[in-house]
Structure 1
Amino acid sequence: MRTLYGTMQSGNVYKVRLLLALLNLPYEFVPVDLRNRAHRSPDFLQLNPFGQIPVWVEETLILRDSQAILVYLAKHDDSASWLPEDAAGMAKVMQWLSVAANEIEHSFTALRRHFLLNAPVEVTQAQRIAERLLQVMEHHLQEQPWLECNRPTIADIACFPYLSRAEDSRIDLSPYPQVTAWLHQIQQLPNYISFSSSPSTVWLSAHDEAHPPIHPTPHSPKMA
Structure 2
Amino acid sequence: MKLYHYSLSGHAHRAALFLSLAGMPHELVDVDLAAGAHKQPGFLAMNAFGEVPVLDDDGIIIADSLAILVYVARKIGPSHWLPTDPVEEAEVQRWLSVAAGKVAYGVCAARLMTVFGAPFNADEVMGRAHATLSVIDQVLATRRWIAGTEQPSIADVALYSYIERAPEGNVALSGYPRVLVWLRQIEQLPGFIPFARTRAGLEA
Question: Structure 1 length as normaliser, TM-score?
Answer: 0.86
Aligned position for 2:157: 157
Partner of residue 67, structure 1: 66
Residue 197 of structure 2 is matched in structure 1 by: 197
Aligned residues: 199
Task: Report what 1:219 is aligned to.
Answer: none
1:37 aligns with 2:36: yes
**Aligned partners of 1:73, 1:95: CA distance in 2, in Å?**
18
Residue 184 (structure 2) pairs with residue 184 (structure 1)? yes
Structure 1 counterpart SS, 2:27: strand
Report the 3-state secondary structure (helix = DSSP H, G, I; strand = E; otherwise coil) of the residue aligned with 1:89. Answer: helix
Q: How far apart are residue 77 of structure 1 and its match?
A: 3.3
Cα offset, 1:197, TM superposition: 2.9
Residue number in structure 2 paired with 1:136:
135
User: What TM-score, normalized by structure 2, do the two folds share?
Assistant: 0.94
> Residue by residue, what CA displacement relative to the aligned partner does 1:22-63 show, whole Å, maximum 9, x if unpaired?
111111111111111111111111111111110011123111
Q: How does 1:80-95 map to 2 (within 5 A)?
A: 80-95=79-94
The runs of 4+ residues in structure 1 deviating greater than 6 Å are: none
Q: 1:113 and 2:112 equivalent?
A: yes
Structure 2 partner of 1:212: none
The code of the aligned residue for 2:53 comes to P
Alpha-carbon separation, structure 2, partners of 1:196 and 1:114: 17
- Counterpart check, 1:56 vs 2:55: yes
Q: Deviations over 1:2-24 (max 9, x none)?
A: 11102111110000111111111
Q: Which has the higher contact order (CA 8 A, sep 6+)?
A: 1
**Structure 1 unaligned runs (5+)?**
201-224
**SS of residue matched to 1:5:** strand
Partner of 1:76: 75
2:19 maps to 20
Matches of 2:31 and 2:18, distance apart in 1: 20
Higher Rg of the two aligned structures:
1
Q: Distance in 1 between matches of 2:184 and 2:80?
A: 20
% same residue = 38
Give CA-to-partner distance per residue, 1:47-101, whole Å, 9 cap, x none.
1111111001112311111000000111233342100012221111011111111
CA distance in 1, matches of 2:199, 2:69: 26
Q: Secondary structure of 1:191's match?
A: coil
In the aligned structure 2, how far is the partner of 1:95 from the partner of 1:166? 21
Deviation per CA, 1:139-176: give whole Å up to 9, x if none: 10000111121320000000000111121011111111
